Amino acid sequence: MSPPAVFGIYGESDSGKTTLAVQLIRELVRDGYRIATVKQTNKSISIDTKNKDTWRHQHAGASLVVFSSRSETDFLLHEQMDSAGIIRRITELKDVDVVIIEGADDPAILKIQVGAGRRRSNTIAKYDGNIPEILTRIKKEIQKTVAPHLRITVNGKAIPLTEFPEQFITNTIRAMLGSLKGVQDIRDVRIELKQ
What integer pLDDT is reported at residue 147 of this predicted model?
58
C-alpha dihedral, 66 to 69 to 72 to 78, nearest 10°? -20
> What is the distance of C-alpha 1 from the center of its chain?
14
What integer pLDDT is reported at residue 17 of this predicted model?
94
| CATH topology (fold) of 5-49+78-145 | Rossmann fold (3.40.50)
- Give the neighbor-by-neighbor strand order of the sheet with 110-114: 35-39, 98-102, 5-11, 110-114, 123-127
Q: Which amino acid, one-letter code, is at 21?
A: A
Nearest CA-CA partner of 126 in 136, 113, 116:
113
Q: Are 90 and 82 in contact (CB under 8 A)?
A: no
Indicate where the chain has its CATH 3.40.50.300 domain(s). Answer: 5-49+78-145
What integer pLDDT is reported at residue 101 of this predicted model?
96
The span from the CA of 8 to the CA of 109, in Å, is: 6
Q: Are 95 and 33 in contact (CB under 8 A)?
A: no
Show pLDDT as tens, one digit a residue, over the chain (195 residues): 568 899 999 999 889 999 999 999 999 998 888 999 999 888 888 888 899 999 999 999 999 999 999 999 998 888 888 999 999 999 998 888 899 999 988 889 999 999 988 999 899 999 999 999 999 999 888 877 755 677 788 887 878 877 778 878 888 888 888 888 888 777 778 888 887
Classify each residue of 148-178 as buried b or exposed e, where b means 16 or more C-beta atoms within 10 Å of its C-beta.
Answer: ebeeeeeeeeeeebeeeebbeebeeeeeeee
